[in-house]
Structure 1
Amino acid sequence: MKFYLLGERTNIEIDVLHRNFPDSTDYWDVNWVKSKIKIEIPGYLVCFNAELRTDELRDFVNELKLMKRFLQGKASLKNLDSYFQFDCEMDKLGNIMWTGETCYPAGYGAVLTFEFASDQTFLNTLIKELDEILTVFPVVGKP
């Protein structure tokens, strides 16, 4: 199940593959999911596997929904393992400025930092993709 961050000459694809520990009853274990990250920006193509948490996706989509509702604001997809971080901010005209940073291997590998612009037209699709992923991989339990 994939979701996309799209912008001018930028395509970020995050494919959520499966839970790492589907039989666990521990909140901190059961909410890890394996994913594949693919980033295409001018001059670079980056592809690697990463561990995500379903609560990271939930928090991100909730922030995006607020941004869409008020047509301004900020949203961040932060990764506990530091594979990546994507931050966006919408201005009053509906323009969205994104900043991204990846690190692979996580924590000590090569770092790529970049920016790109997009607009609010893709938010509905992004929110729908994330909601569908969270339907299949919901946040389980409480911390």
Structure 2
Amino acid sequence: MHSFSLGGSSREKVIVTVHGYERPPIGDYHDDNWLAVVVQVNAGAFSGKFDAAFLTEDFVSFFAQLRDLYDSLKGEAIFSTLEEQLTIRVASDGRGGVSVAGEALDQPGIGNKLVFKLAMDQTNLLPALRELDEIVSRFPVRGA
């Protein structure tokens, strides 16, 4: 299993754990690139955990955006998924502070929604970048 997490403490954290590709490759771009994941959100007194499926390209795109944000400390990085089960917006204040805002749905389109906001320091971005680099290396986009 490979995970990435954002947050400053165990009570203020979102964790996405990738278990692997959902199925062996069959030559269909979208079917070949679904990853089985578990999402865990801890936001103060609230917490939730659910299974989902995200595309490999969701991780690739977020990794590139988060790397740019870390390098410049300007703008934002957005993790979004095709079925909208998880959206995470990471923004820098330009002075070392980073905000994380997101929404998690336990089922695509019809699920319960948890809206969360977390605060952290820019130093928390580097471990997340290392974790995302490992995920995109271990689970590359197939058929690209």
TM range (shorter): over 0.9
**C-alpha displacement of 1:22:** 2.3
What does 1:128-139 align with in structure 2 at a 5 Å threshold?
128-139=130-141
Instruction: Render the CA deviation track for 1:8-62: whole Å, top value 9, x for unaligned.
Output: 5412111100101222211111111000111111121201101011100000000
What does 1:1-143 align with in structure 2 at a 5 Å threshold?
1-7=2-8, 9-142=11-144
TM-score (norm: length of structure 1)? 0.93
Q: For residue 4 of structure 1, what is the amino acid of its counterpart?
A: S
Query: Whose relative contact order is higher, 1 or 2, with alpha carbons under 8 Å and at least 6 apart?
Result: 2
In percent, how many aligned pairs have the same letter?
A: 30
> Root-mean-square deviation (CA), in Å?
1.2
Give unpaired runs (5+ residues) of structure 1: none
Asked if 1 retains the 8 angstrom alpha-carbon contact of 2:43 and 2:117, the reply is no
> Structure 2: how far apart are the matches of 1:34 and 1:140?
15
Q: For residue 2 of structure 1, what is the amino acid of its counterpart?
A: S
**C-alpha displacement of 1:136:** 1.0
Flag as ranges the 4+ runs of structure 1 deviating above 6 A. Answer: none
Between the two proteins, the alignment pairs up a number of residues equal to: 142
